[in-house]
């Protein structure tokens, strides 16, 4: 018997389907692929929009209105005091920090959308941390975490990766992590 998809997994699948499609996808189509009703898809789309995904509704269905770009997952390690340096390095070179992920030994994979595109977003994120809204996920894994980063080209991603390496922020991806973060 196949395990039912969680809401978070279903929303990830919706984003993936919209990213891969050249045409709008109807709520009915998305529901059939994910095994839920059209109404559940409508609710998921609303949740994804609140997370910052630029989803457009058309007469023929839903589109993800983001420019086609290159993405890469990088494993990094640093202190709380270096969060700003890490994020500004990425955005100053033209990258967007799409998310943060950690592999916790008890809780498993924990992931949160960030969508940090510029220094203003960096400052907003840091302000949320300073005011006690939350603490960085890196604290639960001794500084180790992953970021999915997007940029307009692979060359820009190479430049970002090189800059993070030069600052000592890049960490080695372990063999067991290769498939879960690819």
CATH number at residue 41: 1.10.10.10
Q: Would the annotation count 78 as a binding residue?
A: yes
Residue 122 sits in a domain of what CATH number? 3.30.1340.20
Could you list the residue range(s) of the whole structural domain that residue 88 is in? 70-177
In a domain, 2, yes or no: no
Q: Does a structural domain hold residue 182?
A: no
pLDDT of residue 120: 97
Per-residue pLDDT for the chain (182 aa), expressed as one digit of tens each?
455 778 999 999 999 899 888 899 999 999 999 999 999 999 999 999 998 899 999 999 999 987 678 999 999 999 999 999 999 999 999 999 999 999 888 888 899 889 999 999 999 999 999 998 778 888 888 899 999 999 999 999 999 999 999 999 999 988 777 655 54
How many domains, in total, are found in the chain? 2
β-sheet bridge partners, residue 74: 147
- 156/78 same-domain check: yes
56 and 79 inside one domain: no
102 and 83, same domain (yes or no): yes
Q: What are phi and psi of 101, to 5 degrees?
A: -135, 145
The reply to whether 13 falls in a domain is yes
Please tell me the predicted confidence (pLDDT) of residue 182. Answer: 47
Record the tokens describing residue 1, joined without a space: 């018997």
Residue found by looking up tokens 């960490």 in the block:
171
Check residue 3 and give its pLDDT. 59
CB atoms near residue 147 (< 10 Å) = 24
pLDDT at res. 138 = 85
Does 104 carry a binding-site annotation?
no
Residue holding tokens 């395990």? 3
Q: Are residues 148 and 104 in the same domain?
A: yes
Q: Is 147 annotated as a binding residue?
A: yes
Residues 52 and 103 occupy one common structural domain: no
162 is in an annotated binding site: no
CA distances from 28 to 57, 61, 92, 155, 161 (A): 13, 9, 40, 38, 40
Q: Is there a single domain that holds both residue 85 and residue 148?
A: yes
The length of the chain in residues reads: 182
pLDDT of residue 69: 82
100: helix, strand or coil = strand
């Amino acid at each position: 018997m196949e395990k039912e998809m969680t809401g978070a997994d279903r929303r990830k699948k919706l984003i993936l389907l919209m990213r891969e499609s050249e045409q709008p996808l109807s709520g009915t189509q998305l529901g059939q692929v994910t095994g839920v009703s059209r109404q559940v898809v409508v609710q998921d789309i609303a949740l994804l929009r609140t997370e910052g995904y630029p989803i457009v509704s058309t007469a023929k269905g839903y589109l993800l209105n983001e420019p086609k770009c290159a993405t890469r997952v990088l494993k990094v390690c640093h202190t709380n005091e270096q969060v700003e340096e890490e994020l500004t390095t990425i955005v100053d070179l033209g990258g967007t920090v799409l998310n943060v992920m950690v592999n916790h030994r008890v809780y498993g994979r924990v992931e949160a959308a960030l969508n940090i595109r510029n220094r203003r977003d960096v400052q907003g994120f840091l302000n949320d941390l300073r005011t006690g809204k939350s603490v960085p996920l890196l604290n639960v894994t001794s500084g180790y975490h992953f970021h999915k980063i997007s940029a307009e080209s692979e060359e820009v991603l190479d430049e970002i990766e090189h800059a993070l390496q030069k600052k000592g922020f890049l960490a080695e991806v372990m063999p067991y992590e290769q498939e879960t973060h690819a």
